[in-house]
Amino acid sequence: MIKTVGNWIAGGVVVLCVLAGVRAAGAEEKPPEVAAIADVIAIDGGEAHTIALKKDGTVWTCGARLLGDGTTGEHPTFVQLKPLGNVAAISSGKAHGVALKSDGSVWTWGFNANGELGNGTKGNPSTPVQVKDLVDVTAISGGSAFTLALKKDGTVWAWGYNATGQLGDGTNDSTTVAVQVKDFSDATAIAAGGSHSLAIKKDGSVWAWGLNVKGELGDGGNEKRLIPVKVKELGEITAIAAGENRSLALKKDGTVWAWGICELEDGSAENRSTPAQVKGLKDVAAIAVGQAHFLALVKDGSVWAWGSNKVGELGDGTKDARPAPVQVKDLKDVSAIGAGDSHSLTLKKDGAVFAWGWNSQGQLGDGTMENRWTAVQAK
């Protein structure tokens, strides 16, 4: 705003006396510079938002929907999610966030129409709420409209939407509080997808439950499962990831295996009801799945992507779908990866965040709402 010490007319001309240090009328005002977000140790994305965990145990968010900071709407740079602290892990659902505290409690925020926040209600709180009657949790995973938690005793618990059996409790009943996955123990890792769930057991086998219309459960069929079934011909698994009708697994030998919807050369897709090796990848350290795209972090710090690429989610500078992995352009020294529905996230060794893909609601955190075809640094 222009400040004046007086206006008067002299010779028919309006004269403005402007205080020193304030811009002249009509001059362009530059927005204040926003520093890049730093000291991040974990990153994950939803449909139109991103969640970051800093090494001091604080959680930061950007993008749209209910950010959990007491506001709604769009925010194209990261804001701190208060009063949440002492957080050890984060995960993102489609439109909700999940945080695991160092004391083993779980906290959630965002949309809650299906009970995905697990606090016994279906209201949308403006700040994080604690999941009811759940303790000793060691891992969390947010799905489309449901949430999974792994306890230190190896049991898996779930809450939220359950129309296709994704909660694994033997029913199709949705719930606003955590229920135990039926007849399942010795779990070491979990992953929630669009409408299905995955878990690794201590023996390296993978189990799945929920929707199976595209073969995403990997049991050789297409029938939904209300309790866990073993994924066929797959062992020695160290990591899993799930998307919309898509599943991915990382073996201890560094190879990657996929089932469910798999993209083809012509941009179409085929359904695979048992796992198949993803060609062209080796020495993989981590994996992630978006709604329709896949990411792999290689031990040399490079990132590779394949699948849908309509809004640049593969980061190769094109809109072309890729049936086989391609390297993300101009990106190195990456230590962690994450995927939103149609955007991709990376964490570099120095704690900086780089992102690309769909950005119509600021989920890339770069201060804009423009889609990005190659990686840009978040603020």
CA atoms 81, 82, 87, 93: torsion sign: negative
Q: Are 355 and 339 in contact (CB under 8 A)?
A: no
Domains of the chain, each with CATH number or no CATH:
39-377 (2.130.10.30)
Residue 67 binned pLDDT confidence (cut-offs 50, 70, 90): low
Percent of the chain exceeding pLDDT 90 equals 84
User: For residue 265, what pLDDT is reported?
Assistant: 59
Residue 21 pLDDT > 50, yes or no? no
DSSP 280-291: T--SEEEEEE-S
Question: Tens of pLDDT along 74-90?
Answer: 899 999 998 899 999 99
How far is Cα 199 from Cα 244, in angstroms, rounded to an integer?
Answer: 16
For residue 90, list its beta bridge partners.
99
Mean pLDDT of all residues belonging to the chain:
90
Question: Tens of pLDDT along 296-330?
Answer: 999 999 999 999 999 999 999 999 999 999 999 99
Choice between 22 and 336, residue whose per-residue pLDDT is larger: 336
- pTM score, whole prediction: 0.90
User: For residue 126, what pLDDT is reported?
Assistant: 82
Section 32-52 average pLDDT: 92
Question: Tens of pLDDT along 171-184?
Answer: 999 999 999 999 99
Of 54, 144, 36, 133, which is closest to residue 90 (Cα–Cα)? 54
Provide the CB-side half-sphere exposure for 284 (13 A, CA): 33
Residue 269 binned pLDDT confidence (cut-offs 50, 70, 90): confident
User: For residue 9, what pLDDT is reported?
Assistant: 29
Residues in contact with 293: Cβ distance below 8 Å, sequence separation at least 6, in sequence order: 243, 305, 306, 307, 308, 309, 313, 314, 339, 342, 344
Section 63-68 average pLDDT: 74
CA distances in angstroms from 150 to 3, 53, 105, 141, 186, listed in the order given:
59, 19, 11, 9, 10
Residue 65 binned pLDDT confidence (cut-offs 50, 70, 90): low
User: For residue 317, what pLDDT is reported?
Assistant: 97
Residues in contact with 79: Cβ distance below 8 Å, sequence separation at least 6, in sequence order: 60, 61, 62, 67, 69
- Tokens, residue 129: 């709420």
Question: Tens of pLDDT along 212-254?
Answer: 999 999 999 999 999 999 999 999 999 999 999 999 999 999 9
Section 34-61 average pLDDT: 95
DSSP category for residue 172: -
